[in-house]
């Protein structure tokens, strides 16, 4: 802390003070000190946040985000998101992404339409975990297509799944379409596409699907991916009228001989439960 100024009484805080307070050793304590300075610290915090750091050391700038959020300087965080383009250098870019994530999450605490629209514009540009988390936290339908896109990203998938799980009943059609869409093509599907499709089908399987969606589910029973086919069969057995269930039973028995240990165990459990249900009927 500057020797000549007590927190809350200084007329100006210099960027050098911010840099000294937000060092890697005691930066969290520095956040509290800067918050004590009040609005006088905002200009220097802004300058510190916007400066480039080629080292990739991002934690001090993340602490600057925390201080600005505590001071309710949300306009600065919004300006940062609008203006920042991740660097081309991979090390510097990783640092930029971490700060963008922190700024997006901090800004999402402001539950206003302009914030959601800003975050929506960001998720169109960057499928970063913090941006996905921030826009998904609003539980608004406009974010659903982007959350589904995020299912294809390993570092975003669990976050997107959590948000989609809350809005899944309203997103059934989009999730089923995603479960059936093979990229870049049906003949040459990528592993990323498979993970996205499996995830989308898992999410929608936790909802009460209407009869109008059964043709889509039935089509997935024949999917070339065994995990998707098994999940579709389980969903069909739960939803379809009793006379139609034989389609899934036949497919599960066919898949059983080619399944790995875990999938075979899942199939056995499914068929066993079905047999139990029949015996109790």
Q: Where are the alpha helices (DSSP H) in the chain?
A: 15-21, 27-37, 42-50, 59-70, 74-83, 90-107, 113-125, 129-136, 144-150, 157-167, 172-180, 191-204, 214-221, 226-239, 246-256, 261-280
Record the pTM. 0.89
Report yes or no: 48 and 94 within 8 Å, Cβ to Cβ: no
Low-confidence ranges of the chain (pLDDT < 70): 1-11, 276-281
pLDDT of residue 279: 61
Which residues are CB-neighbours of 93 under 8 A, at least 6 positions away?
86, 87
**What are the sequence ranges of the domains in the chain?**
1-107, 113-208, 212-281
């Amino acid at each position: 802390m500057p020797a000549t100024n007590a927190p809350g009484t200084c007329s100006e805080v210099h960027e050098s003070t911010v840099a000294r307070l937000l060092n890697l050793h005691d930066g969290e304590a520095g956040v509290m000190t800067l918050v004590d300075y009040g609005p006088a610290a905002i200009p220097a915090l802004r300058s510190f946040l916007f400066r480039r750091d080629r080292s990739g050391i991002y934690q001090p700038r993340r602490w600057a985000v925390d201080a600005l959020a505590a001071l309710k300087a949300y306009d600065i965080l919004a300006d940062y998101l609008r203006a920042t383009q991740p660097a081309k250098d991979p090390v510097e870019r990783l640092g930029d992404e971490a700060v963008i994530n922190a700024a997006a999450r901090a800004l999402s605490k402001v539950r206003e339409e302009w914030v959601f629209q800003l975050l929506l514009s960001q998720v169109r540009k960057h499928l970063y975990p913090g941006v996905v988390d921030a826009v998904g936290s609003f539980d608004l339908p406009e974010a659903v297509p982007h959350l589904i896109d995020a299912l294809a990203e390993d570092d975003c998938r669990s976050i997107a799944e959590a948000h989609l799980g809350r809005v899944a009943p309203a997103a059934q059609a989009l999730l089923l379409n995603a479960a059936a869409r093979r990229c870049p093509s049906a003949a040459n599907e990528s592993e990323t596409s498979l993970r996205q499709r499996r995830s989308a089908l898992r999410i929608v399987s936790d909802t009460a699907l209407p009869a109008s969606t059964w043709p889509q589910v039935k089509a997935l029973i024949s999917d070339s991916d065994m995990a998707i086919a098994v999940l579709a069969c389980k969903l069909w057995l739960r939803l379809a009228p009793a006379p139609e269930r034989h389609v899934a039973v036949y497919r599960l028995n066919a898949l059983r001989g080619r399944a790995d240990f875990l999938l075979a165990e899942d199939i056995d459990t499914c068929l066993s439960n079905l047999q139990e249900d029949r015996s109790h009927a």
